[in-house]
Amino acid sequence: MEQLFLNGILVGLLISLISLSVYPVICLVRFFHFAHAVVIAAGAYFSFLLSRCFGWPMGIAIPLAILLSAGLGCLMEVAVYKPLRKREAKPIVFILASLGLYTVLQNVISLVFGDDTKSIRTGPVREGLNFLGARITPIQIITIVTAIVVVVGLLLFMKYTRLGKAMRTVANDANLARVVGIDSDRVIMWAFAIGSGLAGLAGILMALDTDMTPTMGMRPFMMGIVAMIIGGKDSIIGIVLGALLLAFAQQYGAYYLGSEWQDAIAFAILLIFLLFRPQGFLGKKV
Amino acid sequence: MKKNRFIVIVVLLVVLVSLLVTNLVNTRKRHVGQGRIVVGAVIDLTGPIAMYGNWMKDGAELALEHWNAIDGNEDAILLVQDSQSDVKKGVSAFQYLLANNDGVPAVLIGPNSSTVLACAPLANKSKVVLFTPTASSPNISNSGEFIFRNRSSGAQEMIELARVISEKFQIKEVGFIALNNDAGIAYEQAFVSAFETRGGQVLQTELLDLGVADFRTQVFKMKNANIDAVVLGSPAKEAATVIKQAAELNYKPKWFSATPIENPTLIEIAGSFADGLVYVAETVDHNNPLFSDFAQKFMDKFGYEPNVFCANAYDGTTILLQAIVSSHGKPDQMLQYLHSLDEYNGVAGKQAFDKQGDVVKKLSVKTVKNGTFQIFTKP
């Protein structure tokens, strides 16, 4: 059972990472940015392009891939969302635009790289290391450590930096933020950059563990959104707790009920929260 | 009251006219003798099973090229629709082919068995031959008189695999990991039935969702149940991921599988942990001059060595074109032609269709050795 617990921690922290990557964006723009799912895949494919096609070392390819993912997110904001905001488009228009972006970019990845599985793993498959009776691979340890660093880093960033405070202000009330002299467009751009960079990082970690396909981003993105709703979208700690609850419910549910119930369990939890605690674990009641 | 009656009459008229139009579409002579033959194709060219789809498309395209190069043959074109590894999109693509281009007389379809099964009722109703060179679900055998395939049924493969496991390996207890779709479930049912008949027992079944990459819980359940032999009834990518994640969990049972496993993806993902896997597969005879010639031309055109899926698609397309020409595109005559084929000699070997539109092919027992797919000699 140690293995099941470890799997829960690993999956939960990975969902946390994805959820936290979309957190700055959703808090500020207030619509489900579906195209974020393709940024997760793009991070993995950028690292594949740089390391496998250009032959660059992973130490250079990975940071560059994260920067390129951040750039992709900013490009979406500049080219699509900002003009729509200027025109005061309705929320449904933003959602349709983001779905359109997702479809187009996912097809671009398919066209350029093909639909077959690509790998950026550097060595052969090896047995996992024995850790308290469970098996864990080096990349899974890196994923867990990275996710913890991101959670702590994001907490500190949002609480203590000027930009973090500005993000919280814009998220609370964009008009008020404008009155006190905050350039909300600039803050939103930063939210896209940070969120997309983190999405790229999550994609790379996923690809190092389980390889990559062009559609790899959508399912984890949906789980990230569910975790955010469960945890409460205003709280980083709440999101992490939501992700862990979701992951443990899925892992133990799959073990005791059957793996075909994994998604049903996730959405059943979502429904329960929406009905009985819509603000999530630690979200503020409106 | 009068207004309601008027509405009812209008609705009835609309329904009547629709039925008449539908009937006209279904019965008119389709695309033969007008200077070209149009064959539809609904293929998964993108999405998780795109690799099999692209093999199928390449085989079909080469068949078409060869057909058009023969003097006296009516020109043929292939209208390819991408079903994106998605059943709903596959059905929409099939409906598009039925509704446009004056209705195609036959459609090549695959590799997703669920898409074939979802399109089958429409094909039977519209009297359009649905031909799959790649889909293997046992349920396709009973999906209607207009459904044909030259890919061996998964049931045939599972029956043979059950025999190999119990006779050659003397294994009486296994676990089964199947894809959570129509084909996967049907594979599992066929195997359980055949294995239990031989006195074996399937201790545990786990399901995998297509496109998912984390199967650690399913693997861990198998490991925890101390299962020493596991049958993988899934495409290569999912099977390879299971083997890789099992190795990472220090779980190394004896792996068994079927035709879809013969895919370079298996070696790329699972590496040396795929070695020793034994599978039952439809194979091509490399000594057959027809196949050698096809393989050379295929290599020249596409730059890679063709496999059984490419060869099946080549044969399937050629058979369909011959059937359309012989029957002048008339549905019932096409059926007669296909059933009358007595051992069609194709690049993938000799093929004849039974009453259910299935081919019965010779299967080989193969294994993975040093990262290559080889004929299995002994346990």
DSSP summary character for residue B273:
G
- Is A285 inside any structural domain? no
Name chain B contacts of A206, Cβ cutoff 8 Å: 213
CA distance B41 to chain A (A): 19
Alpha-carbon distances, residue B157 vs A135, B153, B231, B257 (angstroms): 35, 7, 12, 9
CA distance B268 to chain A (A): 8
Tell me if chain A has a CB within 8 Å of the CB of B226: no
**DSSP H or E segment with residue B191:** helix B182-197
Question: Using CB atoms, which residue from B211, B217, B237 is nearest to A251?
Answer: B217
> Residue B177's closest chain A neighbor by CA?
A259
Tell me if chain B has a CB within 8 Å of the CB of A47: no
The DSSP result for chain A, as a single string, is: -HHHHHHHHHHHHHHHHHHHHHHHHHHHH-S--TTHHHHHHHHHHHHHIIIIIS---HHHHHHHHHHHHHHHHHHHIIIIIHHHHHTT--HHHHHHHHHHHHHHHHHHHHHHH-SS-B----S---PPEEETTEEE-HHHHHHHHHHHHHHHHHHHHHHHSHHHHHHHHHHH-HHHHHHTT--HHHHHHHHHHHHHHHHHHHHHHHHHHH-B-TTTTHHHHHHHHHHHHHH-TT-HHHHHHHHHHHHHHHHHHHHHT-GGGHHHHHHHHHHHHHHH-TT-SSPPP-
Check pLDDT > 80 for residue B100.
no
- Is A286 inside any structural domain? no
- B155-283+364-375 — its CATH code? 3.40.50.2300
For residue A76 the two structure tokens come to 């979406």
Check pLDDT > 70 for residue B3.
no
Inter-chain touch B48–A258, beta carbons under 8 Å: no
Looking at residue B24, its pLDDT comes to: 43
Inter-chain touch A4–B208, beta carbons under 8 Å: no
Question: Using CB atoms, which residue from B214, B247, B271 is nearest to A210?
Answer: B214
Looking at residue B27, its pLDDT comes to: 39
CA distance A63 to chain B (A): 24
β-pairing, B129-132 with B106-110?
parallel
Residues A9, A10, A13, A15: what is their CA dihedral angle, to the nearest 10 degrees? -120
Check pLDDT > 70 for residue A216.
yes
Inter-chain touch B207–A258, beta carbons under 8 Å: yes
Tell me if chain A has a CB within 8 Å of the CB of B212: yes
Looking at residue A78, its pLDDT comes to: 93
Domain limits, chain B: 36-152+286-360, 155-283+364-375
Inter-chain touch A254–B217, beta carbons under 8 Å: yes
> Residue A3's closest chain B neighbor by CA?
B220
State how far the Cα of A87 lies from the Cα of B317, in Å rounded to an integer.
52
Class of the CATH-defined domain B36-152+286-360: alpha beta
Which residues lie below 8 Å from residue B165, measured CB to CB, with a gap of 6+? B171, B174, B195, B200, B229, B231, B256
Average pLDDT over residues A23-41: 89
Q: A residues 114-143 near B, CB within 8 Å?
A: 114-117, 119, 124-128, 135, 137
| Better-scored residue on pLDDT, B298 or B50 | B298
Question: Using CB atoms, which residue from A127, A211, A262 is nearest to B248?
Answer: A127
Inter-chain touch A125–B244, beta carbons under 8 Å: yes
DSSP reduced 3-state for B257: strand
Average pLDDT over residues B269-281: 93
Check pLDDT > 90 for residue A26.
no
State how far the Cα of B9 lies from the Cα of B199, in Å rounded to an integer.
64
Looking at residue A62, its pLDDT comes to: 95
What is the interface pTM, i.e. ipTM, of the complex?
Answer: 0.82
Name chain B contacts of A254, Cβ cutoff 8 Å: 217-218
| Better-scored residue on pLDDT, B19 or B235 | B235
Question: Using CB atoms, which residue from A107, A116, A219 is nearest to B51?
Answer: A116
pLDDT digits (tens, 9 = 90+) for B151-193: 988 888 999 999 999 999 999 999 999 988 888 888 999 999 9
Inter-chain touch B208–A135, beta carbons under 8 Å: no
State how far the Cα of A12 lies from the Cα of A5, in Å rounded to an integer.
10
Q: B residues 91-150 near A, CB within 8 Å?
A: none
- Is A157 inside any structural domain? yes
Give the least confident one: A239-248, B50-59, B98-107, B240-249: B98-107
**DSSP H or E segment with residue B268:** helix B264-270
- Is A283 inside any structural domain? no
Inter-chain touch B247–A126, beta carbons under 8 Å: yes
State how far the Cα of B274 lies from the Cα of B244, in Å rounded to an integer.
8
pLDDT band at residue B23 under the 50/70/90 scheme: very low
State how far the Cα of A209 lies from the Cα of B8, in Å rounded to an integer.
62
Name chain B contacts of A258, Cβ cutoff 8 Å: 206-207
Residue A100 structural domain: 2-276
Average pLDDT over residues A16-21: 94
Side-chain-side CA neighbours of residue B341 (13 Å): 29
Which among B268, B275, B261, B280 is positioned nearest to B370, based on CA atoms? B275
We report the CATH number of the domain holding residue A150 as 1.10.3470
Question: Using CB atoms, which residue from A7, A116, A127 is nearest to B247?
Answer: A127
Inter-chain touch A137–B271, beta carbons under 8 Å: no
Which residues lie below 8 Å from residue A170, measured CB to CB, with a gap of 6+? A28, A177, A182, A184, A187, A188
Inter-chain touch B217–A216, beta carbons under 8 Å: no
Question: Using CB atoms, which residue from B220, B249, B269 is nearest to A117?
Answer: B269
- B206, β-bridge pairs: B177
pLDDT digits (tens, 9 = 90+) for B300-355: 999 999 999 999 999 999 999 999 999 888 888 999 999 888 888 899 988 888 88
CB B59 within 8 A of CB B314: yes
pLDDT band at residue B5 under the 50/70/90 scheme: low
Name chain A contacts of B237, Cβ cutoff 8 Å: 116-117, 213
> How far out from the chain centre does Cα A170 lie?
21
Give the least confident one: A34-38, B76-80, B98-102: B98-102
State how far the Cα of B64 lies from the Cα of B367, in Å rounded to an integer.
33
Tell me if chain A has a CB within 8 Å of the CB of B244: yes
Name chain B contacts of A110, Cβ cutoff 8 Å: 46, 50
pLDDT digits (tens, 9 = 90+) for B111-155: 998 999 999 999 999 899 999 999 988 889 889 999 999 998 888
Total of domains in chain A: 1
Which residues lie below 8 Å from residue B131, measured CB to CB, with a gap of 6+? B106, B107, B108, B109, B147, B148, B149, B150, B316, B319, B320
Which among B351, B376, B372, B362 is positioned nearest to B133, based on CA atoms? B351
